[in-house]
């Protein structure tokens, strides 16, 4: 019997045009809210307290009636109602695995293949059946190792469960099995490659899926240009699994099938306009661990412009930091990572520092930049670029070399409020 080759590109979700995708998102919201209200105590109680019924929530636009549940509240909630805080809809004996992340926060794995839905992300990164993939995420206690393994196995990849640490052994093993794929953090990949070079080993890695740590453009270039590795990023959490991932355009992270992402003002829980930074809040239907307005504490922004890859799903612009790291300037949050994204990889800039001051009753954000040797910086042009990234008018001040100390914090708040 001929079998069709299975793919993990889902034309009925990833191929939808933006409007049709919004209709799909509304359906996910209705499913998640109705199921979680009926099957989990936590969502039932949270909606009762807010005076909201499932009938009140017909789509994404109705979600803000329900307060956000902060991920930071899970350790207390789970301690009160062990093990999962009243958020899981099945008995423990019906699960496949139980994990514990720092917090502690306990996470369930439902009893089905690729429970966290990473296969579409790994497929988009080019992983195919028969690829030998070295997985360097932890296999103990925390779910990252198992998450990636499940996704790779769903595709049909051969997985080498490397886990963390043991650089010497890992790089030898990678060479011996001629692994063509890598999954892990980008910095550990570089460590392994450098060690392989030192030892004169012939490594075969040509494709990497990285998550869990920043991938600065400079590091991506080294991996691509020096080591000829095609690198893709994914974004997810231990609770949710796959939230978003890069396509071949590598210009933002497409929202994954099966999840609804809101970007909200962390102080109010209200959605911010597209393009503005805010907290990533997840709603997703799931027969085991349904989530309704789950506040990840991560900051990003949403880009709804069409992507050249043909996916109609909007993209997250990247990881902009954690809630609490930001500084509010004229009502807009500015985060150190936004500055790093805009400035950190420009060869003409040696150092920079954002300074928030108050002039009269108005917040001012000044970016001090030190040029690299023999480099010229056009302050007006740079201010225009920053304005696009930060959605805020800023002043750029070019300062002489060695004005800013080497350990200058990237963003300081010099406002006084007396």
Which of 216-237 are b and which e, b meaning 16 or more Cβ less than 10 Å from the residue's Cβ?
eeebbebbeeebebbbbbbbbb
Report the residue number, 307 or 377, with the smaller CB distance to Zn ion.
Answer: 307
CA 277 to each of CA 45, 323, 362: distance values in angstroms, whole numbers, following the listed order: 30, 11, 21
Query: Is 201 among the residues that bind Zn ion (CB under 5 A)?
Result: no
Shortest Å distance, C-beta 330 to Zn ion: 33
Report the residue number, 222 or 251, with the smaller CB distance to Zn ion.
Answer: 251
Residue of 119, 189, 247, 316 interacting with Zn ion (CB under 5 A): 247
Q: How many CB atoms lie within 10 A of CB 394?
A: 22
Distance CA 404, CA 390 (A): 22
Q: Choose the binding region for Zn ion from 164-172, 178-186, 229-237, 241-249 (rule: CB under 5 A).
A: 241-249
Query: Is 132 among the residues that bind Zn ion (CB under 5 A)?
Result: no
Query: Is 259 among the residues that bind Zn ion (CB under 5 A)?
Result: no
Report the residue number, 77 or 307, with the smaller CB distance to Zn ion.
Answer: 307
Query: Is 34 among the residues that bind Zn ion (CB under 5 A)?
Result: no
Residues 6+ apart with CB under 8 A from 309: 247, 248, 249, 254
Report the residue number, 120 or 145, with the smaller CB distance to Zn ion.
Answer: 120
Distance CA 52, CA 48 (A): 6
Distance CA 111, CA 90 (A): 10
Shortest Å distance, C-beta 105 to Zn ion: 31
User: Is the CB of residue 147 less than 8 Å from the CB of residue 110?
Assistant: no
Shortest Å distance, C-beta 214 to Zn ion: 20
Residue of 249, 287, 305, 375 interacting with Zn ion (CB under 5 A): 249
Shortest Å distance, C-beta 125 to Zn ion: 12
Site size for Zn ion (CB under 5 A): 5
Identify whether 193 is preceded by a cis peptide bond (ω within 30 of 0). Answer: no
Report the residue number, 117 or 311, with the smaller CB distance to Zn ion.
Answer: 311
Q: Which residue is listed with tokens 């504490």?
A: 297
Query: Is 164 among the residues that bind Zn ion (CB under 5 A)?
Result: no
Q: Which residue is listed with tokens 């959490």?
A: 237
User: Is the CB of residue 226 less than 8 Å from the CB of residue 202?
Assistant: no
Shortest Å distance, C-beta 124 to Zn ion: 8
Report the residue number, 70 or 259, with the smaller CB distance to Zn ion.
Answer: 259
Report the residue number, 84 or 253, with the smaller CB distance to Zn ion.
Answer: 253
The 271-310 contact track toward Zn ion, x by CB under 5 A, reads ------------------------------------x-x-
Shortest Å distance, C-beta 316 to Zn ion: 12
Q: Which residue is listed with tokens 């108005």?
A: 362
Nearest Cα neighbor of 30 from 4, 2, 62 is 62
Distance CA 226, CA 17 (A): 37
What does the binding site for Zn ion look like in residue numbers (CB under 5 A)? 247, 249, 307, 309, 311
């Amino acid at each position: 019997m001929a079998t069709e080759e299975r793919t993990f590109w889902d034309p009925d979700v990833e191929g939808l045009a933006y409007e049709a995708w919004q209709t799909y998102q509304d359906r996910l919201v209705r499913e998640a809210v109705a199921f979680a209200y009926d099957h989990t105590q936590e969502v039932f109680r949270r909606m009762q307290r807010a005076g909201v019924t499932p009938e009140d929530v017909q789509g994404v636009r109705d979600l803000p009636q329900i307060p956000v549940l902060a991920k930071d509240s899970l350790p207390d909630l789970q301690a009160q109602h062990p093990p999962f805080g009243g958020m899981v809809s099945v008995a423990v004996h019906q699960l496949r695995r139980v994990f514990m992340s720092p917090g502690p926060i306990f996470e369930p794995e439902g009893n089905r293949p690729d429970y966290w839905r990473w296969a579409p992300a790994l497929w988009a990164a080019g992983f195919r059946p028969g690829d030998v993939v070295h997985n360097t995420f932890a296999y103990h206690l925390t779910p990252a190792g198992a998450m990636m393994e499940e996704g790779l196995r769903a595709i049909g990849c051969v997985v080498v469960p490397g886990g963390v640490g043991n650089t010497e052994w890992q790089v030898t093993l990678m060479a011996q099995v001629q692994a063509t794929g890598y999954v892990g953090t980008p910095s550990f990949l570089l460590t392994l490659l450098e060690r392989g070079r030192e030892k004169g080993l012939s490594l075969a890695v040509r494709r990497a899926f990285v998550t869990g740590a920043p991938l600065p453009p400079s590091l991506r270039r080294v991996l691509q240009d020096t080591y000829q590795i095609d690198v893709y990023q994914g974004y997810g959490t231990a609770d949710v699994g796959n939230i978003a991932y890069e396509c071949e355009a590598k210009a933002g992270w497409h929202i994954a099938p099966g999840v609804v992402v809101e970007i909200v003002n962390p102080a109010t829980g209200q959605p911010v306009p597209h393009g503005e930074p805010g907290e990533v809040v997840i709603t997703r239907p799931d027969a085991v661990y349904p989530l309704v307005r789950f506040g990840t504490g991560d900051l990003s922004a949403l880009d709804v412009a069409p992507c050249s890859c043909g996916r109609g799903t909007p993209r997250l612009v990247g990881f902009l930091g954690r809630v609490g790291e930001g500084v509010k300037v004229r009502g807009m949050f500015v985060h150190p990572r936004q500055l790093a994204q805009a400035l950190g990889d420009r060869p003409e800039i040696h150092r920079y520092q954002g300074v928030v001051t108050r002039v009269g009753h108005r917040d001012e954000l000044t970016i001090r930049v030190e040029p690299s040797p023999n480099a010229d910086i056009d302050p007006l042009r740079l201010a225009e670029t920053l304005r696009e990234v930060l959605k805020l008018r800023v002043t750029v001040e070019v300062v002489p070399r060695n004005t800013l100390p080497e350990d200058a914090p990237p963003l300081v708040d010099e406002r006084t409020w007396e």
